[in-house]
Amino acid sequence: MPTSQLNNLIRMAQISSYDVQSKGANNIPDFKYEEASIVAKWNGNSKTYDKVTFKTGGMYGRSYDKVGFNLKFDKKFLNRKSFKLRPDSGDASKIRSKLCCDIANRIGLPSIQGTYARLYMNNEFWGLYVFMDSIKTSWIKQTFNPSEKEVTTLFQCKTGGFNFRSNSVYACINANDDYQHMSEFSSFVNAANNARNISDLEKIMDVDIFLKYLAFEWLIGSSDHFMIYGHNFNWYKRESDGKWVVIYYDYDNTFGNGASYSLWANKGLNQDGTGANRGNQPIYYSFADWEPNIPILKKLVFDNKNRFKQIVYDVLVQGFNPNILNPHINEIKSFLSPYVREDFTAKNGSLPGRINKAGSRTSSSYSNFEYNIENSVKNWISKKFDVACSNYGFSKTEILNQSSKFTPKPYDYTGTGSKPATTTTTEKPKTTTTSATAASSPKPSSAGKRYDIIKEGESKISAGWDNLSWGVESFRYDGEGNMINNVNADSWGAVSFKRNDSTKLGYGILYFKAKANVAGATLQVLVHTTNGERFTFGNVGISTSKMTEYNVVIDIDTNVKFDRISIQDATNSGLILTLNDIYYMDGATATTTKPITTTTTTTTTTIIKTTTSTPNTSMPTSTGGTRYDIIKAGDKKITTGWEDWSWGIKSYRFDSQGNMICNINANEWGAASFRRPGVRLGNGVLYFKAMANVSGATLNIYIHTVNDDYVYINKVENISNTKMTEYSVEFKLENNVKFNRISIQDSTNVGFTLTLNDVYYMDGATAVYKTTTTIKPTTTTTTTSVKPTTTTTTTTSVKPTTTTTTTTSVKPTTTTTTTTSVKPTTTTTTSVKPTTTTTTIITSVKPTTTTTTTTSVKPTTTTTTTITTSVKPTTTTTTTTTVKVTTTTTIKKTTTTVGPVPTSSGTRYDIIKSGDKKLSAGWEDWSWGLSSYRFDSKSNMVCYINEDEWGAASFKRPNVRLGNGILYFKARANVAGNSINIYVHAIDEDYIHIKTIENLSTEMTEYSVAIELKNNVKFNRISIQDANNTGFTLYLNDVYYMDGATTTTPKTTTTTTTTSKRTTTITTTKKITTTTTSVLVPTPAEGCKEVTKGYYPCGGLNYPDASPCCEEGFKCEYVNEFYSRCALILY
């Protein structure tokens, strides 16, 4: 590392405990250098890595004298790319992190690994560090090996407070910086809350892993994970079965370190009724004593005591007992001793790596290292083992005897080995066709270009191809190079291969050798186009006696290209499929001269005549198409592959009949919304069964295009309130528009209970609006005859309307005339609302004024709220609702001000740092009305704001409380004449208008806006809105907020303009006769000048200047003599 960078590192590392306490660890800038070179030496090996990102890391530990670091390698080191170098300054034993990792791995949990490293910086020794995995998306790819290139379902719970209560969702963040959506995790938490019992929970999470981690957490005495502080773990949605699995990290506060009885001082009785005399020594606490009465643990643990008891027994046998751990601890201690001595040996008066001179000095020493191991770690293990055996009536002798025979098995990251059902090709075959099946079936008459997929004898998939199989439990290669695939029944499994380069294939011939283990096995071949469509070619009967060569002609239009080939179990009964010598001849054509044998399959289709009476054109039936189940009748869940993106719904559940019961809130324009990533749906018909609990209920049907545009489709009126009734809606879109999300909305906005079932979409189906006979191929009879002198080759598309023995074109010739544009012409404030115009009120917090702005910020209750702390308020509450159209003349005063000039620095919160090309850590994107946004080469956030949607770039930071200060940002518009509104959103979600900036420059210009709020109002969200609602492209950069900064009085000029526009309002005014109080942050107690944030130090020898006054919801609790911490009030 260059000397200049090293000096910069030391300069930026000067962080005191006061800095962490006053600014927040997340808000202190990290040192980061992306061109570091690392020479790694291990076990006699040595390798140099360039372009390593080297940055400071840690949260509260940043205020210690020895600093931790995060490493991100450009290439894999030890099969990983991301690592942590942790000084673990608070752990005198230096073994807690390593020991906990070893236990977790031994007992079969998905876990990080831990070891040790000696760090040299520019040839200077910087000391001993714990060297650990860092759970990033790259770690998930390495361990779980998902098929998707982007990991978007890894969520890190870092800041504290997550406990499965619905309001704790945002204590976690999406670990993928490029995909900050929380909807999938929010749906998981909601589903967990709605679960009635452990069986419901097992449908959405790996319950056994979670229970084992809970038992592990209790036994190791952790005060820093799920049960106490609700952080230091990740949730990952496992691809193999769609279930969520928890993974812990950060183990320095274990074996009693940091576990003060004050954490439980106000708990009261336990959930199981015990705990009246738990005492003040946490080492003796039972599990019921230890957990702070978290509701979900009642369903998991206390309603299933025998199951949890068995898990505790397993953990004691497998990894937590003195006979296993004490010898292992002695080994680690013996290994570490010389390195710990070295780490505590000063050079030139300074200990190695202690670069933070402003930080708290590490009070440990080598003698403390020895003492803490023997009298703290080992003592905890011995006593806690006794406590656990006593609590559950276990025989210690039996456990130790069983433990001596136990053979550890690591966690199986491959799961079942099958790919998830989210793959868009898990489709039941729709037709039976005729195809040639013989060793001498068609050979190419033109050479074509050969693409090997599995070369005979190589025992691997050829370079250029990836295995994207689904429904395959496992596969292996035998001694002859055959790929043996165990295909599951009832999964429509397929062996699937996708090009991992830019190669695009066209018409040609697929060759492969195959054998099945069951008679009657049939395969069909699918190809997947580059735009997400699928086509099916040929049904092939497979030999059970020997490897036989087969070929299938892929006869598609010359303009259609594909990059993926799948060989599917066409009977869905499951089989062992053996494959070899698979290759594709791109561009080859087939000949039918002088064949030796040909099998002709005759298909008999049973025709069911269904007479459909259609009372009006909004209820079509359909023919053809590909079925996508969203809620299958009887399944009691949303079908795998679909995500719940509903809004405005208080809760939902599935009843005993498999109905999804949605409790839609009034005044929120709520909707049941379902999204399927990775698919591109087009014209077709939506079917669903529905019932409302009120008469006259009406639904709007919307689709959301792949670029997130909302498109109104139709309205379904008078939903039955007596019985489940089937409805259908035709989707007709112009310009080949594709979508991946469907919403069913309360169009009256009155709120009601909507019951749904049997929801599915027929993609590509043709609607029929009159009495008709629908052909459904439900019964197929197959006869086979051998004709040695004739060959019939038949291919068919994946979406046929009839079953024939002739060649069908890939694209059916049906012409559909569409009349609905992508953006409908109905008059709506925003395209997710019904056709009436709705006014949403945004009010200032000034108690003597009310600012009314017409905007569709989000569907909310349209009321004006004036916040005041007066005992007898005389202000007025104004309620505005839509009743009729009138013409209103509005007089608007525009104040032009010189940008505020700060007179005190305040605390800086970066939202978009110049050069970062992303939102800064801790901030979430809550924008609305944008068709999309991106970061350009200059790191500008480019926001494409839609017309007529009052769009805004909006940024929220959970768990902070911002007050008066100054917002700075650089901005420009793509065209002149645009204006922007600045809003802040209070903690209770009130919108507060701050300022309008008119005539936004078309060149990047820095703006600043003073935010002055009365009554100590706090906020955590800032929005920059299109004030004219005309739509434009907004460029933003270098956006940050100076919290606490004050300004000089700006010079102002005021102009008044009068405009007329049509609005829809009726105003009712009423006096408030009760006291209205809004106190969002507690006033510091007498003698306290500052308020300490939650989870931050609030006293102790290491933090003598910390304020003991904690923010609302937290209290200052003694941990040990060195520090106290603001702890979450849980009771």
Contacts of 618 (CB under 8 A, 6+ apart): 714, 715, 716, 729
- Of 10-24, 168-182, 503-517, 615-629, least confident by mean pLDDT is 615-629
Between 616 and 686, where is the model more confident? 686
Does some domain include residue 758?
yes
| Sign of the four-CA dihedral 654, 657, 659, 664 | negative
Does some domain include residue 458?
yes
pLDDT, one tens digit per residue, over 423-451 is 333 333 333 333 333 333 334 444 689 99
- Of 168-182, 270-284, 406-420, 1065-1079, least confident by mean pLDDT is 1065-1079
- Of 21-30, 66-75, 367-376, least confident by mean pLDDT is 21-30
The answer to whether the beta carbons of residues 103 and 216 sit under 8 Å apart is yes
Round the CA-based radius of gyration of the chain to a whole number and report it: 33
Between 302 and 1089, where is the model more confident? 302
Mean pLDDT value across residues 310-331: 96
User: How many domains are contained in the chain?
Assistant: 4
Does some domain include residue 229?
no
Same domain, 550 and 653: no
**Among residues 768, 792, 815, which one ends one of the domains?**
768
Same domain, 547 and 642: no
Same domain, 517 and 584: yes
| Residue-level pLDDT at 430 | 34
Mean pLDDT value across residues 50-74: 89
pLDDT at position 801 over 60: no
Mean pLDDT value across residues 718-737: 89
Does some domain include residue 961?
yes
| Residue-level pLDDT at 419 | 33
| Residue-level pLDDT at 1058 | 41
Mean pLDDT value across residues 412-416: 72
Measured distance CA(106)–CA(408) in Å, rounded: 6
Same domain, 500 and 638: no
| Residue-level pLDDT at 1130 | 52
- Of 218-222, 308-312, 985-989, least confident by mean pLDDT is 985-989
Mean pLDDT value across residues 474-496: 89
Regarding pTM above 0.85, the answer is: no
Q: In what order do the strands lie in the sheet with 494-499?
A: 465-467, 494-499, 562-569, 522-529, 534-541
| Residue-level pLDDT at 473 | 84
Mean pLDDT value across residues 15-26: 77
3-state helix, strand, coil in the chain (%, to 5): 15, 35, 50
pLDDT band at 1121 (very low <50, low <70, confident <90, very high): low
Between 1101 and 1036, where is the model more confident? 1036
Helices (H) and strands (E) in the chain, counts: 14, 54
- Of 13-22, 487-496, 946-955, least confident by mean pLDDT is 13-22
Between 519 and 155, where is the model more confident? 155
pLDDT at position 1115 over 50: yes
Between 3 and 851, where is the model more confident? 3
**Among residues 706, 738, 768, which one ends one of the domains?**
768
Chain CA centroid to CA 250, Å: 22
| Residue-level pLDDT at 890 | 37
pLDDT at position 123 over 80: yes
Please provide the average confidence, as pLDDT, over all residues in the chain: 78
Same domain, 1067 and 1091: no
Between 796 and 118, where is the model more confident? 118
Same domain, 987 and 1119: no
Q: Which is nearest to 24 in space by CA: 160, 130, 174? A: 160
pLDDT, one tens digit per residue, over 1003-1050 is 999 999 999 887 778 898 999 999 988 999 999 999 999 999 886 544
pLDDT at position 818 over 80: no
| Residue-level pLDDT at 808 | 28
Mean pLDDT value across residues 2-14: 92
Same domain, 682 and 732: yes
Does some domain include residue 845?
no
pLDDT at position 864 over 50: no
Same domain, 677 and 559: no
Measured distance CA(118)–CA(339) in Å, rounded: 8
Percent of the chain clearing pLDDT 90 (strictly above):
45
* Domain housing 1016: 893-1071
Same domain, 716 and 591: no
Angstrom distances, CA of residue 1028 to CA of 237, 731, 854, 912, 951: 42, 32, 10, 24, 10
Does some domain include residue 486?
yes
The answer to whether the beta carbons of residues 674 and 643 sit under 8 Å apart is yes
| Residue-level pLDDT at 34 | 93
CATH number at residue 968: 2.60.120.430
CA atoms within 13 A on the CB side of 842: 22
| Residue-level pLDDT at 446 | 47
Task: Using the structure block, give the residue that is written with the tokens 């191809």.
Answer: 465
DSSP string, 283-331: GG--HHHHS---HHHIIIIITSHHHHHHHHHHHHHHT-SHHHHHHHHHH
Q: Which is nearest to 126 in space by CA: 77, 65, 60? A: 65
Same domain, 1039 and 1095: no
Does some domain include residue 163?
no
pLDDT at position 796 over 60: no
Between 105 and 603, where is the model more confident? 105
Angstrom distances, CA of residue 434 to CA of 456, 514, 535, 652, 789: 28, 19, 15, 47, 16
Q: Which two tokens stand for residue 208?
A: 């056994």
| Residue-level pLDDT at 878 | 33
pLDDT band at 853 (very low <50, low <70, confident <90, very high): very low
| Residue-level pLDDT at 70 | 94
Same domain, 939 and 1055: yes
Mean pLDDT value across residues 58-74: 87
| Residue-level pLDDT at 663 | 92
**Among residues 768, 793, 817, which one ends one of the domains?**
768
| Residue-level pLDDT at 98 | 96
Decide the pairing of beta strands 508-516 and 575-586: antiparallel
| Residue-level pLDDT at 895 | 40
Does some domain include residue 642?
yes
Between 639 and 558, where is the model more confident? 639
Measured distance CA(920)–CA(494) in Å, rounded: 42
| Sign of the four-CA dihedral 954, 956, 962, 966 | negative
pLDDT at position 1075 over 60: no
| Residue-level pLDDT at 60 | 73
Same domain, 1087 and 1123: yes
